[in-house]
């Protein structure tokens, strides 16, 4: 009977080999299929005397030709590749938009056009055509900012929506993997062959690795556990669903459905790329755009609030609606300090300046209104978190930093008839100063050896003025930084003093600009930057002047000069340089990712080739195996027939 067992084992082995080879050939073009092998081993042998008898062939399990470490490396590389590809594709679309808008009709050109229009206006400060040109170029620039902001805002929304879709696909795949785990486990326990199911599951894992970086852990009975960012999404035949959302900082991430502890630093896959874009890349671009718009708004407005246009001082002015009446809630954040307001009695021409101190942590709009209302000729009120300042009949007001025509304080004791002192000029210093004038000598203006030393706020002498012999009453003398002084006939005594306030900024807190009082721009960022509606309606309100005569062009010159000033809040770059760097950085990011993508693609191709050599189906090899087992089957059949004939002959003899 042993001979029959040998024959039957050979026939069975050949028959099962046909099934394995046929399955290999049938799946030669199936993505994710791994070559299967039938493991055959010699059967148990027996020895009778000196003769060793073979037991035929034992049929082992059918195994897959697979390199597990290579498969995991392919998953990792594929995850990194889709991560970079997602970033790259999105950045290319951003570059297209910023590239178009940085051309002759783009934001870069619009910024240049705006400051060029201000420069033209400085040469013709009172001409309406240049005033309208400045308004038009400002509106064009604001429109470019809003277009870019709208694009980035919609892109961020789209990234969130795409993330939701990717998470749904991840949940679908993890559910399929757990279902396959269950089928594989049942089949393995019952002694069946689950290789095709394993291939299906591995294909799902491969698809999952393109969506997110995934960690795998093999368990008993062919089961595989999966985790994503430390979350065990598949544990045997159980799975957890994920959901996408924003954390308290607005960062996009994932968490177990129903929970709120979002993981935002996701590495790998399309999901990682989407989160990286939303949380870092696009967010940074958007922040830079907003910072640029905000800096232009603040710098222009902080200068504009101090000046007046060709129509002169104000009788009624209303600010913007604020989010709160408390100064501590204002954006941008204010600084403690003060602001000065000038009031002119139109009947007498007398000008007075009042300085109002500001404590950001304690003051409110109501406090500011009360302080302004305490000034003769002015009334202020707050309605709907909006400050309004009105002048009484016969009065006007402004916020000019112009030097007052007379000293702010004086001590002419011991002098019978002090001269009249007239101040003029536009102060060009960078800090607010109180200059102190000390008289040396005694006598009449224009005679003797009268001298006046001028000390700045630090006590340093900046000028010695000769108002004695050689000086003609009424002549203007240069002090420093554009300020001039003249004396009428009169007497001065040794030790006489007087003071003159010279303001570089009439508002050191940023309050007026924040309130929208006499501002050029309204808004806070790229999304809402626009030209103040009052100026759009009446371009003559552009505050070109800061001198006491209100006919100079000094303020609009300061606007124009901002173009070439390096701003601390823009990483010590000019407006134009900051925007050009923003666009250039996008190009650099694309170039870097192009290189990474090419390198990864080459690596994946290399690993895929190795996988094909190990796990791929070679039809020639399978045909050769088929021929071997066909001949084996024929041989075993002939062997079995010979045995049968031999037995028949023996039986006939008996």
Interval 418-446: pLDDT, tens? 999 999 999 999 899 999 999 999 889 99
pLDDT at 1: 46
Rounded Cα distance between 361 and 298, Å, is: 21
Report residue 482 as tokens: 């554009």
Closest CA to 424 of 497, 474, 466, 490: 474
Contacts of residue 305, defined as CB under 8 A and 6 or more positions apart, other chains included, come to 399, 506, 507, 512, 513, 517, 518, 519, 543
| Least confident among 35-44, 274-283, 566-575 | 35-44
pLDDT at 102: 56
C-alpha atoms less than 13 angstroms from C-alpha of 209 in its C-beta half-sphere: 19
State mean pLDDT over 485-489: 95
Report residue 195 as tokens: 């290789």
632 confidence band (pLDDT: 50, 70, 90): confident
pLDDT digits (tens, 9 = 90+) for 255-267: 999 888 899 999 8
State mean pLDDT over 593-603: 93
For residue 388, report the phi and psi dihedrals to the nearest 5 degrees: -125, 135
For residue 486, report the phi and psi dihedrals to the nearest 5 degrees: -140, 155
pLDDT at 63: 86
What average pLDDT is seen over the chain? 91
DSSP codes, 476-543 = -EE-STTEEEEE-S-EE-TT-EEEEEE-S-SBSSSHHHHHTTT-SEE-SSTTT-EE-HHHHH-GGGS-
- Please identify which residue in the block is written with the tokens 């009268």: 450
Burial group, residue 460, by CB count within 10 angstroms (0-12, 13-18, 19+)? exposed
Report residue 645 as tokens: 């004939």
C-alpha atoms less than 13 angstroms from C-alpha of 460 in its C-beta half-sphere: 4
Q: Please determine, for residue 175, whether its predicted confidence score (pLDDT) is greater than 80.
A: yes
State mean pLDDT over 608-631: 89
pLDDT at 110: 93
Q: Please determine, for residue 515, whether its predicted confidence score (pLDDT) is greater than 50.
A: yes
pLDDT digits (tens, 9 = 90+) for 444-468: 999 988 999 999 999 999 999 999 9
pLDDT at 41: 83
**Dihedral over Cα of 170, 173, 175, 178: its sign:** negative
- Please identify which residue in the block is written with the tokens 């708004």: 297
Rounded Cα distance between 483 and 569, Å, is: 31
Rounded Cα distance between 71 and 136, Å, is: 62
Report residue 356 as tokens: 């109002």
State mean pLDDT over 603-624: 89
DSSP codes, 271-328 = HHHHHHIIIIIHHHHHHHHHHHHHHHHHHHHHHHTT-BBTTBSBSEEE-PPPS-SBGG
Report residue 345 as tokens: 């009695």
pLDDT at 530: 96
For residue 455, report the phi and psi dihedrals to the nearest 5 degrees: -115, 140
192 confidence band (pLDDT: 50, 70, 90): confident
Closest CA to 240 of 224, 256, 258, 229: 256
Rounded Cα distance between 523 and 135, Å, is: 16
Q: Please determine, for residue 2, whether its predicted confidence score (pLDDT) is greater than 90.
A: no
pLDDT digits (tens, 9 = 90+) for 367-388: 999 999 999 999 999 999 999 9
pLDDT digits (tens, 9 = 90+) for 227-257: 998 889 999 899 899 999 999 899 999 999 9
| Least confident among 45-49, 122-126, 507-511 | 45-49
Rounded Cα distance between 503 and 626, Å, is: 99
How much of the chain exceeds pLDDT 70, in percent?
97
Q: Please determine, for residue 634, whether its predicted confidence score (pLDDT) is greater than 80.
A: yes
- Please identify which residue in the block is written with the tokens 């062009």: 553
pLDDT digits (tens, 9 = 90+) for 60-114: 888 889 888 998 999 999 999 999 999 999 999 999 898 765 566 789 999 999 9
204 and 176 Cβ atoms separated by less than 8 Å: yes
Rounded Cα distance between 530 and 29, Å, is: 61
151 confidence band (pLDDT: 50, 70, 90): very high
């Amino acid at each position: 009977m042993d001979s029959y067992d040998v024959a039957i084992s050979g026939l069975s082995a050949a028959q099962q080999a046909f099934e394995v080879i046929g399955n290999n050939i049938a799946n030669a073009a199936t993505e994710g299929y791994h070559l299967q092998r039938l493991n055959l081993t010699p059967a148990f042998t027996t020895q009778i005397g000196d003769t060793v008898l073979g037991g035929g062939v034992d049929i082992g399990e059918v195994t897959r030709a697979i390199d597990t470490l290579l498969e995991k490396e392919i998953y990792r590389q594929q995850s990194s590749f889709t991560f970079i590809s997602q970033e790259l594709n999105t950045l290319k679309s951003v570059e297209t938009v910023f590239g178009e808008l940085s051309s002759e009709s783009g934001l870069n050109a619009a910024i240049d056009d705006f400051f060029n229009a201000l420069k033209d206006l400085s040469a013709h400060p009172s001409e309406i055509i240049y005033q309208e040109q400045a308004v038009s170029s400002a509106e064009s620039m604001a429109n470019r900012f809003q277009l870019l902001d709208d694009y980035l805002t919609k892109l961020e929304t789209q990234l969130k929506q795409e993330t939701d879709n990717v998470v749904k696909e991840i949940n679908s795949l993890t559910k399929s993997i757990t279902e396959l785990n269950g089928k594989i486990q049942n089949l393995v326990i019952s002694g069946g062959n689950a290789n095709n199911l394993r291939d299906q599951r591995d294909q799902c894992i491969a698809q999952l690795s393109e969506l997110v970086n995934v960690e795998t852990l093999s368990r008993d009975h062919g089961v595989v556990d999966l985790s994503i960012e430390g979350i065990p999404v598949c544990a045997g035949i159980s799975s957890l669903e994920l959901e996408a959302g924003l954390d308290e900082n607005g960062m996009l991430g994932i968490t177990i459905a129903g929970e709120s502890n979002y993981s935002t630093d996701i590495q790998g896959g399309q999901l990682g790329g989407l989160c990286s874009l939303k949380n870092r890349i696009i967010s940074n671009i958007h922040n830079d755009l907003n910072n640029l718009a905000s800096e232009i708004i603040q710098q222009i407005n902080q200068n504009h609030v101090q000046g007046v246009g060709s129509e002169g001082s104000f009788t009624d002015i209303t600010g913007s609606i604020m989010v709160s009446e408390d100064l501590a809630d204002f954006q941008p954040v204010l600084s403690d300090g003060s602001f000065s307001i000038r009031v002119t009695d139109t009947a007498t021409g007398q000008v007075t300046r009042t300085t109002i101190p500001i404590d950001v942590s304690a003051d409110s709009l109501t406090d500011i209104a009360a302080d302004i209302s305490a000034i003769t000729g002015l009334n202020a009120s707050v309605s709907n978190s909006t400050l309004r300042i009105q002048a009484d009949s016969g009065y006007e007001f402004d916020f000019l930093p112009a030097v007052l025509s007379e000293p702010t304080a004086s001590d002419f004791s011991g002098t019978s008839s002090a001269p009249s002192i007239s101040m003029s000029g536009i102060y060009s210093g960078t800090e607010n100063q109180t200059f102190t004038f000390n008289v040396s000598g005694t006598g009449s203006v224009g005679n003797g050896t009268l001298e006046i030393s001028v000390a700045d706020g630090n006590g340093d002498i900046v000028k010695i003025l000769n108002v004695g012999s050689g000086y003609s009453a009424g002549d203007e003398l240069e002090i420093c930084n554009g300020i001039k002084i003249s004396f009428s006939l009169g007497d001065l005594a040794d030790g006489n003093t007087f003071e003159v306030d010279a303001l570089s900024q009439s508002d050191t807190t940023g309050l007026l600009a924040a309130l929208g009082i006499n501002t050029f721009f309204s808004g806070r960022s790229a999304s809402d930057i626009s030209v103040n509606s009052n100026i759009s309606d009446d371009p003559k309100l552009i505050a070109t002047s800061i001198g006491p005569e209100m006919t100079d062009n000094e303020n609009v010159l300061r606007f124009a000069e901002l173009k070439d000033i390096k701003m601390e809040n823009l990483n010590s770059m000019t407006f134009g340089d900051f925007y050009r760097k923003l666009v250039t950085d996008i190009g650099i990011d694309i170039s870097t990712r192009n290189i990474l993508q090419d390198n990864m693609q080459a690596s994946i191709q290399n690993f895929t080739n190795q996988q094909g050599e190990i796990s791929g189906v070679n039809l020639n090899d399978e045909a050769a195996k088929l021929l071997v087992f066909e001949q084996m089957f024929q041989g075993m059949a002939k062997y079995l027939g010979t045995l049968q004939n031999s037995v028949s002959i023996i039986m006939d003899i008996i």
